[in-house]
Amino acid sequence: MKIARWVSSVPLRVRTLFSKQQVERELDEEMQFHLEKKIEELVGLGMAPLDAKRAARKVLGVERQMQQCRDVRAWQGWERLRADVVFGWRQLMKRKVTTAAAVLSLGLAMGSCVAAFRLIDALLLRPLPIAHPERLVVLSRVGTDSSGAPRSYDTFAYPDFQLMRAAAGKDADLIAVSPADRYDLTYKTDEEMEKAYVQYVSGRMFSSFGLQPALGRLLTREDDVTPGAAPYAVISYDYWSRRFGRDPKVVGQTFRMGTQMFEVVGVGPKDFTGTEPGTVVDIFLPTMMYPDVTRDDASWHRTLAIVAPGVELEPLRAKLDAVSHGFEVQRSKSWTGMSAEQIARSLNDRMLMTRAASGVSELQGDYRNALVWLGVLVALVLLIACTNVANLMTAVAAARMREMAVRVSLGAGRGRLVRLVMAESVMLAILASVVGGVLAWWSAPMVVRMINPADNPARLMLDADWRVMGFAVLLLLAATMLFGLVPALRAARLQPVSALKGGEEQQGRGHGMYALIATQVAFCFVVLFLAGLFVQTFHRLENKPVGFDAKGLLLLETESGHGQTPEAWGQLAETLRGMPGVKQVAISGRPLMTGSWNGPISINNGPPSDDWSYFLNVAPGWLGTMKLPLVEGRDFVASDSFPGEAIVNQEFVRRFFHGADPIGKTFEKTGGEDQKLIVRVVGVVADAPYRYLREAPLGVAFVPTRRVNAKGEVMKDSGETLLVQTAEADPMSMAAEMRRKVAAAGAGFRVSNVETQQELIDNQTVRERLLAMLGGFFAGVALLLAAIGLYGVLHYSVVQRERELGIRIALGAAAGNIARVVTVRVMLMVLLGAAVGLGAGLASVRFVQTLLYGVRGTDVSMMVVPAVVLLLAAGLAALPAVMRAVRIDPVVMLRSE
């Protein structure tokens, strides 16, 4: 009944809301009618018309009744909200510039926050689209390396995995997944090779994850049984869409990868892109088809597990650890050529079991810290922006103090005042969130593009899900609270009498604003400090001498199906050498700064070294092409071979020969199966990064590409990298021609990948570049916002103190004195804020240390530069207010009072 009546009243109330004037007219007419009748009656009783009119109005209480009627008819909440919104909007529009500044700065900060969250969500938080992501765990092993530093592995050998899977039994379903990698494959002929992201997975993965095929079938447990007997492939929905245009006839197609044919048996579910955030898998192959699946000395896949409901993790972990440890002990018996310490350390490794609801990928490891710190930076920028707007609103509210006081005096409730101020804040926040939303939409994919190495495009699923939306809404609320609540509460505390008198309240208000300034400066300092560290890190890495010259170097990773002799490879190089624009061509096993080949060595028949040497096959002339300077001895010649000769770097000499002249000395690469890999050092080269730009030099031994086996036969190679030194500024411009030339050389030569050496270097500073660029950008924004905030507060305080300053000037205060009076308090706040910021920055620096290179947070310059920049900005921001104060004309000033 009640509800029905309420519903029936809706049209009336809506009418009140939207046909306000009509309703008002009717109300007026109704009262007027009654009033006239009343006057008639009173006049009839003998009253004078004028008196009758007055008396009638009084008896009726026209105004009061009408207001009560309006209240009855109106949706009070709506009505007031509408009034507040209209009023607030008018207030905002009155100050277009400040409103725009507030909206832009807030929008920028909020958009950056949401963008950062989108990235963090996509990479680290979003659960895999599988049945029970909360039950997914990943296994890894942790221990220490030869220097005692912690190390961890998350790859396992398949036989080890089989033992663990059997041991887990019903407690958990173990799943092997290889890291997704780019492979060459073809659906037609060798001439039409293409690349695809391939992930080897246990067939059981699909059923364990509760996945359903979009087409055909998925891999099953039956595909996990016999090595080499499951030549089936499931393609991802994304690949199906991109590569095949969702052609249902894809099922049954075959492709060749290496020498193995695979048949596409089905298409995976729509959202499933593999287990690695950052990589969208194209093709899933059964682990049984991995070439090394039966080897106990090849650790190549991750081990995931879906833990059964109610199973405790720790006992399961202990059980798997024991089984895996048993496997390692068994395996270690056949380890030759490894130092005893090395073996002991390996057997000491402990297994970890970590929840992995959002999958596991290298990108996560590389960017977890970086993204979180970017998030911290943008959050600080947001706080600065909020502080600014809070200050702005406070100043505006102060200017409206009299108006507010009048409202209170006239009976406006405090709640109503709070709403009035909050309505403005909410509108500001909503406007800002529109700006921010656009920014977040556009910037998150841009950041992903920035972190993309050319050859290995990361693809993050950046769909806006409920987490991103929720975050945005929470952010909006939090920001509004942050900058809106203080002025609103201040309005509520208002004492009308003192405000109307322009009394002592201003003192208290000043305190709040100055405290906000200090806070702002502290945040700003932290942002500047961290950004400075990131920029410096990138600068150091970018300008780090690499020891060779990457200019004009094009790298052709080339294959030849059945292998070719070193002579044939040499001829191929010769062919390219004849091309116009080519200065030099050399051959190596693979490019520097990709992958690694390492192992212990033995000198003078000593025990295998605990410290490992790193190796790279290079052909004669490679050193010269790389411009890697030979310090001593000679380059390889065509007759040099491995085993036989080696050229080592200076670090190798330091580590293994303790600085003694190594030319002519020999060492053995231990662990050779049926032959002793003994080499004689013929040359020494300067140090150059072997794997990573960031790491300290490694001991590297270069050995010839010409390899001989135990019988003395020269072995064929199926893949080498042709290092082409071009005269071009952009070596890539020659890539297509090179490909054709290599293919035309016949003998099955085929370029599988082209890159430049410079790209390989740049790829290793992608994260640093990202942090430096975004850090620098946010530092700029933070500085700008802080300066604006400072300017605003100073300006406001000068306006407030104009009379006092005028009197001072009248009494003969010098300009310097006035400047000091105006700025001293703010500058104290700036110093206080900077000091607090410095403390916070130093406290945070140990958490960012892993992201830094060649720079320490405690370096004096890293603290001085932000401080100086901040003070300069503060000085600049203070200038207009000081000018204004100094130029106050006491005569004009005092007369106007």
For other proteins, the binding residues (CB under 8 A) are 1, 4-5, 8-9, 12-13, 26, 29-31, 33-34, 37-38, 59-61, 64-66, 68-69, 71-73
Smallest separation (angstroms) from other proteins to the CB of 24: 13
**3-state secondary structure at position 247:** coil
Between 31 and 784, name the residue whose CB sits nearer to other proteins. 31
Between 61 and 326, name the residue whose CB sits nearer to other proteins. 61
Cα separation values, 827 from 130, 587, 732, 748, Å:
56, 64, 54, 74
Distance from chain centroid for Cα 140? 24
Between 38 and 540, name the residue whose CB sits nearer to other proteins. 38
Between 1 and 50, name the residue whose CB sits nearer to other proteins. 1
Give yes or no for a contact between 589 and 572, defined as CB atoms under 8 angstroms apart: no
Residue whose token pair is 């044939």: 568
Smallest separation (angstroms) from other proteins to the CB of 53: 15
Give me the count of residues in the chain: 897
Contacts of the segment 20-29: beta carbons below 8 A, 24+ positions apart: 23/73, 24/70, 27/66, 27/69, 27/70, 28/66
The contacts of residue 494 (CB under 8 Å, 6+ apart) are 401, 404, 405, 408, 417, 505
Give yes or no for a contact between 123 and 462, defined as CB atoms under 8 angstroms apart: no
Alpha-carbon distance of 804 to 881, in angstroms, equals 15
Amino acid 658 reads H
| Cβ-based burial of 732 (10 A; exposed 0-12, middle 13-18, buried ≥19) | middle
Between 71 and 730, name the residue whose CB sits nearer to other proteins. 71
Token pair belonging to 452: 């993309």
Between 11 and 812, name the residue whose CB sits nearer to other proteins. 11
Between 71 and 804, name the residue whose CB sits nearer to other proteins. 71
Q: Hey, which bits of 79-187 come out as E strands?
A: 136-144, 150-153, 156-157, 172-177, 181-185
Give yes or no for a contact between 88 and 416, defined as CB atoms under 8 angstroms apart: no
Amino acid 364 reads Q
Smallest separation (angstroms) from other proteins to the CB of 54: 15
Between 64 and 333, name the residue whose CB sits nearer to other proteins. 64
Smallest separation (angstroms) from other proteins to the CB of 65: 5
Smallest separation (angstroms) from other proteins to the CB of 26: 7
Between 38 and 345, name the residue whose CB sits nearer to other proteins. 38
- Residue 667 gets which letter from DSSP? E
Smallest separation (angstroms) from other proteins to the CB of 416: 21
Smallest separation (angstroms) from other proteins to the CB of 21: 16
Nearest to 202 by CA among 257, 256, 309, 275: 275
- Residue 178 gets which letter from DSSP? P
Smallest separation (angstroms) from other proteins to the CB of 808: 59
Smallest separation (angstroms) from other proteins to the CB of 44: 13
Smallest separation (angstroms) from other proteins to the CB of 784: 54
* Phi, then psi, of 352 in degrees rounded to 5: -115, 145
Between 67 and 226, name the residue whose CB sits nearer to other proteins. 67
| Pairing assessment for the beta strands 260-267 and 232-235 based on DSSP bridges | parallel
Between 64 and 895, name the residue whose CB sits nearer to other proteins. 64
Smallest separation (angstroms) from other proteins to the CB of 62: 9
Distance from chain centroid for Cα 31? 67
Between 2 and 170, name the residue whose CB sits nearer to other proteins. 2
Rounded to the nearest 10°, the torsion over CA 658, 663, 666, 671 is 70
How many CB atoms neighbour CB 261 within 10 A?
Answer: 11
Smallest separation (angstroms) from other proteins to the CB of 388: 46
Between 43 and 489, name the residue whose CB sits nearer to other proteins. 43
- Residue 692 gets which letter from DSSP? -
Which H or E run contains 204?
helix 204-208
Between 4 and 811, name the residue whose CB sits nearer to other proteins. 4
Smallest separation (angstroms) from other proteins to the CB of 419: 24
Distance from chain centroid for Cα 347? 36
Amino acid 222 reads E
Smallest separation (angstroms) from other proteins to the CB of 78: 14
Smallest separation (angstroms) from other proteins to the CB of 49: 18
| Pairing assessment for the beta strands 150-153 and 553-564 based on DSSP bridges | unpaired
Residue whose token pair is 């049945």: 131
Between 15 and 501, name the residue whose CB sits nearer to other proteins. 15
Between 71 and 695, name the residue whose CB sits nearer to other proteins. 71
Between 75 and 441, name the residue whose CB sits nearer to other proteins. 75
The contacts of residue 312 (CB under 8 Å, 6+ apart) are none
Alpha-carbon distance of 422 to 88, in angstroms, equals 9
Smallest separation (angstroms) from other proteins to the CB of 73: 6
Smallest separation (angstroms) from other proteins to the CB of 43: 15
Give yes or no for a contact between 655 and 699, defined as CB atoms under 8 angstroms apart: yes
Nearest to 287 by CA among 219, 374, 239, 208: 219
**3-state secondary structure at position 306:** strand
- Residue 708 gets which letter from DSSP? B
Smallest separation (angstroms) from other proteins to the CB of 777: 57
| Pairing assessment for the beta strands 194-201 and 283-286 based on DSSP bridges | parallel
Between 33 and 78, name the residue whose CB sits nearer to other proteins. 33
Nearest to 233 by CA among 241, 242, 223: 223
Alpha-carbon distance of 541 to 395, in angstroms, equals 46
Alpha-carbon distance of 194 to 206, in angstroms, equals 26
